[in-house]
């Protein structure tokens, strides 16, 4: 693997927490994701099912995990099923995990080959009263029209054991995953640290008439060199008016002198993610208007991040963030104070220039699972990302950091990434930081 192996104690603890939430005498079955193909014999790469990774640490396709904490036989309490290799697989794809390696990674003593899954489960199923099965329950789920390994498991299990009770594994993991352990925080911090160096590379490489994808290449170079798994999401390198399209990521335009670039990117390290956004001038010097807009957004970020405290409701936080941005829009001359005072509260005027939320969970998913009706708690990691978008001026500005909530204070995990105007201009003027090769 590219990343430094994660200690199995993390997954042992996560499994124990998961098991503690299971109903009496039930079996949990979690499956890996599929390898996604594009054309002919090529594949788009593999990304593990995050719930399975969370409680096993296994980062390989064709993997099943069966948990039966009330099993009569001790060896049936936790069983990991992995893909058995052979000479053909070794020649064409390389080695797969041995049983011994899977035990070291996961901390699970009993490991079987996946072809024995149905036979082994059959020996336990009729002792149990029900099953916990995984399913993609994310609020931004995009797999509605794609059959997944989880979908096939649900169909198979209900056909094979129709009279058992069925429960949602995702209901347990969405309660557990928002609270990060020290080990998880360290992995998110590692992802953030890689992103800091990546951003500095971009600043030093930027110049008038460079293509957006050339700056994207700087991100990719450092990501691969640093042992990261992949981009956390397709990077946004949006110059000029492109920055006013929130999910612009074709990254194929020219960065023109006098424009500002919005760079929204993240790093996935050991399946844990960072998510950051920065803005900077193509020519290395902010114009007076760019400074005004940038400082307005930066003020909202600094003040808004102070609202990320234990006990705060997400809806209340977003309402206060919107008020911060609204005030700045008035000061920028984009909104009229009298009109704002008389606006329809259901159609606030700020939406013309600021149209998105500013805080989401981050962890194994960039938009990590968790209920937003749940008050913020110590151990949660969230983004803060206010923005102002002015299409008529060709300016789009969003600034984003990743914050760990603790009982005493909020810690900025991306504090080392330059954000002050003076820092950015100094780096772009080659006054500090030399790209290593």
Q: Percent of the chain scored above 70 by pLDDT?
A: 97
For residue 106, give the nearest of 68, 52, 175 by alpha carbon.
52
Q: What mean pLDDT, rounded, does the chain reach? A: 95
**How many domains, the chain?**
2
Cβ–Cβ under 8 Å, residues 79 and 118: no
Give the domain CATH number at 230: 3.90.230.10
Q: For the chain, what's the residue count?
A: 437
Domain shared by 189 and 325, yes or no = yes
Q: Does the pLDDT value for residue 436 go beyond 60?
A: no
- The pLDDT, as a whole number, for residue 434 is 47
Domain shared by 47 and 154, yes or no = yes
Q: Does the pLDDT value for residue 435 go beyond 50?
A: no
Please, which pLDDT band fits residue 373 given cuts at 50, 70 and 90? very high
Residue 378 lies in a domain: yes
Query: For 196-219, what is the mean pLDDT?
Result: 98
Give the domain CATH number at 17: 3.40.350.10
Residue ranges with strand state E in 150-197: 165-168
As given in the structure block, the two tokens for residue 19 are: 């098991």
Return phi, psi of residue 291, to 5°.
-60, -45
**Residues 339, 341, 347, 352, CA torsion sign:** positive
Domain range enclosing 103: 8-176
As given in the structure block, the two tokens for residue 331 are: 């000061």
Return phi, psi of residue 251, to 5°.
50, 45
As given in the structure block, the two tokens for residue 133 are: 């099965």
The answer, as to whether pTM is greater than 0.75, is yes
Residue 434 lies in a domain: no
Q: Where is the domain boundary, 125, 143, 176?
A: 176
Strand partners, 173: none
Q: Where is the domain boundary, 153, 176, 199?
A: 176
The rounded distance, in Å, linking the Cα atoms of 204 and 427 is 7
The rounded distance, in Å, linking the Cα atoms of 122 and 118 is 6
Q: Distance between alpha carbon 408 and the CA centroid of its chain, in Å?
A: 25
Unique residue bearing structure tokens 């890996």: 32
The rounded distance, in Å, linking the Cα atoms of 48 and 177 is 16
Give the pLDDT confidence of 46-59 residue by residue, as tens digits. 899 999 999 999 99
Domain shared by 168 and 190, yes or no = no
As given in the structure block, the two tokens for residue 302 are: 């600094």
Give the pLDDT confidence of 208-234 residue by residue, as tens digits. 999 999 999 999 999 999 999 999 999
Give the pLDDT confidence of 98-114 residue by residue, as tens digits. 999 999 999 999 999 99
Domain shared by 378 and 402, yes or no = yes
Residue 422 lies in a domain: yes
DSSP state of 27: E
Residue 437 lies in a domain: no
Q: Which SS3 state, helix, strand or coil, does residue 408 take? A: coil
Query: For 320-340, what is the mean pLDDT?
Result: 98
Query: For 159-187, what is the mean pLDDT?
Result: 97
Domain shared by 136 and 199, yes or no = no
The rounded distance, in Å, linking the Cα atoms of 150 and 351 is 38
Q: Does the pLDDT value for residue 315 go beyond 70?
A: yes
Cβ–Cβ under 8 Å, residues 412 and 305: yes
Residue ranges with strand state E in 212-344: 230-231, 236-239, 260-265, 267-269, 272-273, 276-281
Q: Where is the domain boundary, 146, 176, 206?
A: 176
- The pLDDT, as a whole number, for residue 206 is 98
For residue 57, give the nearest of 97, 85, 95 by alpha carbon.
97
């Amino acid at each position: 693997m590219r990343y430094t192996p994660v200690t199995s104690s993390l997954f042992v603890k996560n499994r124990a927490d998961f098991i503690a939430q299971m109903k009496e005498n039930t079996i949990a079955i979690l499956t890996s994701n599929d390898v996604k193909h594009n054309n002919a014999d090529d594949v788009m790469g593999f990304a593990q099912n995050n719930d399975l990774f969370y409680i096993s640490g296994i980062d390989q396709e064709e993997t099943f995990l069966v948990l039966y904490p009330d099993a009569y036989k001790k060896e049936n309490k936790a069983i990991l099923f992995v893909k058995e290799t052979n000479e053909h697989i070794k020649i064409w794809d390389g080695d797969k995990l041995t049983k011994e390696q899977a035990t070291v990674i996961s901390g699970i003593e009993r490991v079987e080959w996946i072809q024995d899954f149905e036979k082994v489960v059959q020996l336990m199923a009729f002792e149990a009263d029900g099953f916990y099965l995984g399913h993609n329950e994310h609020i931004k789920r995009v797999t509605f029209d794609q059959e997944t390994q989880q979908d096939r498991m649900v169909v198979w299990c209900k056909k094979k054991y129709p009279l058992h009770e069925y429960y949602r594994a995702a209901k347990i993991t969405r309660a557990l995953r928002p609270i990060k352990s020290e080990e998880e925080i360290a992995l998110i911090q590692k992802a953030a640290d890689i992103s800091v160096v990546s951003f500095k590379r971009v600043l030093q490489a930027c110049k008038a008439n460079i293509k957006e994808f050339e700056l994207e290449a700087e991100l990719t170079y450092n990501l691969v060199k640093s042992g990261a798994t992949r981009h956390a999401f397709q990077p946004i390198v949006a110059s000029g008016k492109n920055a006013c399209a929130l999910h612009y990521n074709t990254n194929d335009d020219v960065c023109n002198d006098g424009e500002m670039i919005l760079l929204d990117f993240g790093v996935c390290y050991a399946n844990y993610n960072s998510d950051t956004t920065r803005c900077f001038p193509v020519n290395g010097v902010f114009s007076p208007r760019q400074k005004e807009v940038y400082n307005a957004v930066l003020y909202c970020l600094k003040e808004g991040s102070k609202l990320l405290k234990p006990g705060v409701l997400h809806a209340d936080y977003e309402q206060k963030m919107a008020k911060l941005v609204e005030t700045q829009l008035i000061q920028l001359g984009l909104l009229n104070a009298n009109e704002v005072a008389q606006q329809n509260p259901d159609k606030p005027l700020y939406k013309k220039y600021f149209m998105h939320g500013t805080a989401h969970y981050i962890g194994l998913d960039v938009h990590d699972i968790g209920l937003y009706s749940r008050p913020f708690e110590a151990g949660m990691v969230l983004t803060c990302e206010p923005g102002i978008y002015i299409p008529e001026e060709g300016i789009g500005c969003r600034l984003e950091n990743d914050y760990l909530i603790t009982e005493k204070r909020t810690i900025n995990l991306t504090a080392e990434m330059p954000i002050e105007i003076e820092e950015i201009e100094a780096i772009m003027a080659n006054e500090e930081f030399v790209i290593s090769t």
